[in-house]
Copies of this chain bind each other. A is one copy, B any other.
Amino acid sequence: MSTASRAADARPRAPRTSPAERAAQITAAATALALDEGLHALTLRAVAARAGVASSLVAHYAPSMEQLVAETFTAIVRTELAEVRAHAAAVREPSIRLRALLETLLDGSRDDVTGVWVDAWSIARRSAPLAAAVREQMTAWHAAVVDALRAAAPAATHARELDRIAAHVLAMVDGLNAHELVDYRAGGSGLALIAGMLERELSLPAGALTR
């Protein structure tokens, strides 16, 4: 044997880099892993393997796995929200923008993020840091939906009313996505469900959001 035996991690030594860069790499590895296999897969060793690094290095950079899970959740959802907001912002006409937002949320192209959300609700019951992170991101999403609604709603619509309708939308999006995650579908398209509800609630002409 030309190389000494390496029991714990069979892999070339990672090149020395700045702490900031290494931290970013570990965050990226954790993010990719969570999207691929869920928040449950965020293991000291699994993240380390993904980053091409010793597990003890991950432990060195993350205060604890509980924290790393919460931070990874936040990173994923925050990025997602920014992307979806940017995508919607590209649409000028408010009702079409609202529709674009809903389409993006429901088209099934984001199963990975949905999985992360469901894992988060489950784990958050036993993890205070994650619970706080989940509430924070839910609030951010609520604000984003309110923004989209406000632009599409009649100008006189009260803020309280927009809050209420946004809560309705988010409950449906989360419920429908959870259902899709186990391949359950009943009663037709979720998008049509929400669009129809919104046309009524916002006093939009029928079909304003459905086509």
Please give the residue numbers on chain A whose beta carbons come within 8 Å of chain B beta carbons, in ascending order.
Answer: 38, 40, 115, 118-119, 121-126, 131, 134-135, 138-139, 142, 163-168, 170-176, 178-179, 181-184, 186-188, 190, 193, 197, 200
Contact = CB atoms under 8 A, between A and B. Distances in A.
A122 B122 contact: yes
A19 to B, nearest CB: 32
A175 B176 CA distance: 8
Contacts of A179: 138, 170-171, 174
B171 A171 contact: yes
Contact of A126 (B38, B126, B142, B186): B38
A40 B122 CA distance: 9
A181 to B, nearest CB: 6
A38 B125 contact: yes
Contacts of A119: 122
Tell me whether chain A's interface is mostly helix, strand or loop, or mixed: helix
B166 A121 contact: no
A108 to B, nearest CB: 14
Most B C-beta atoms less than 10 A away, residue of A125, A131, A138: A125
Among all A-B residue pairs, the 7 with the closest Cβ atoms: A167-B187, A175-B175, A171-B175, A174-B175, A122-B122, A163-B187, A164-B187
A167 B197 CA distance: 13
A170 B182 CA distance: 15
A144 to B, nearest CB: 13
A170 to B, nearest CB: 7
A181 B142 contact: no
Contacts of A178: 121, 174-175, 178
A173 B178 CA distance: 12
Contacts of A168: 172, 187, 193, 197
